[in-house]
Amino acid sequence: MKRLDGRIAVITGGGRGIGRATAERFAQEGAKVVIATRSEEPGREAVAAIEELGGEALLLVGDSGDRDFSRETITRTAQHFGSIDIVLHNAAYTEGGWLDTTDDEHIDTMFRTGLMACFWLTTDALPYLKQSKVPRILVTSSIDGNKYSMPGRSHYCSMKAGVSGFIRSAATELAKHRITVNAVEPGLTLTDVVARVIAPDVMDELVGEIPLGRAVYAEEVASAFAFLACDEAAMITGQAIAIDGGQVLGTDKVMAFDDH
């Protein structure tokens, strides 16, 4: 028996990167997956990949930073599959911005997409999660803003720090309903978005700071989410697991590979 057999999972930002890798992993574990994404073509490709694996997926196209689309995502999932067991908020706006040049629209988009959607998806999904035997709320957070920082990322770091506060408080509030709330904090992860926003020379410098010597694969983050969604993680709640190759440890790259 697969670990997520028969469970219904909603994944925002499910058309690319970590979201897509997790959608495919959940499907491999037996879940039926709803992929909510604003990018229709990547979303269709993700659904096709899941169907090729023998899984079942539903594509919903829209902006997770929009309150109405969040509500629609939950409503249409329940209508299509009849229940909801897992909600994973993965969508985020990742563009950086300097404090003296970033405008209000940039900041608003950052927080609506990355943080406000946590509240929206949770409140909309609660009636269904309360009826589930294995209810899970999951969020893609980041080491940024929690254990790590970079110039030009204060808005993103603030948003992700807010995510960590959300999971801890929501975990205590929803424990009476047996709903667990957890996050994964990826470090530098190889996705198309990261390749677009980080220059190759900066990427090399960042990889040089990672004790294990390479960036994270999206599939490795997906594995952590699959564990947090399964029965074995029933007593884990309010936690954020860093998947970063030791990036936040600050170990010098020479020392990390010293034979001694």
pLDDT bracket for residue 251 (50, 70, 90): low
% the chain with pLDDT above 70: 95
Cα–Cα dist 165/205, whole Å: 30
204, with CB counted inside 10 A (0-12, 13-18, 19+), is exposed
3-state class of 103 per DSSP? coil
Q: Which residues pair with 32 in a beta bridge?
A: 8
Determine phi and psi for 251, rounding to 5 degrees: -70, 135
CB 101 within 8 A of CB 151: no
CB 32 within 8 A of CB 57: yes
Quick: pLDDT tens for 207-230: 998 999 999 999 999 999 999 999
Could you say which of 93, 128, 148, 156 is catalytic?
Answer: 156
Cα–Cα dist 24/220, whole Å: 12
3-state class of 231 per DSSP? helix
Cα–Cα dist 163/119, whole Å: 10
CB 89 within 8 A of CB 117: yes
Q: ∠ CA 155-158-161 to the nearest 5 degrees? A: 150
Quick: pLDDT tens for 100-155: 777 888 888 889 999 999 999 999 999 999 999 999 999 999 998 787 777 767 88
Handedness of CA 220, 221, 222, 227 (dihedral sign): positive
CB 77 within 8 A of CB 88: no
Query: How would CATH label the architecture of 8-192+218-248?
Result: 3-Layer(aba) Sandwich (3.40)
Quick: pLDDT tens for 19-69: 999 999 999 999 999 999 999 999 999 999 999 989 999 999 999 999 999
- 128 tagged catalytic: no
Residue 252: predicted pLDDT: 52
* Strands across the sheet containing 86-89: 57-61, 32-37, 8-12, 86-89, 136-140, 180-186, 240-243
Number of other residues whose CB lies within 10 A of the CB of residue 259: 3
Residue 10: predicted pLDDT: 98
Domain boundaries defined on the chain: 8-192+218-248
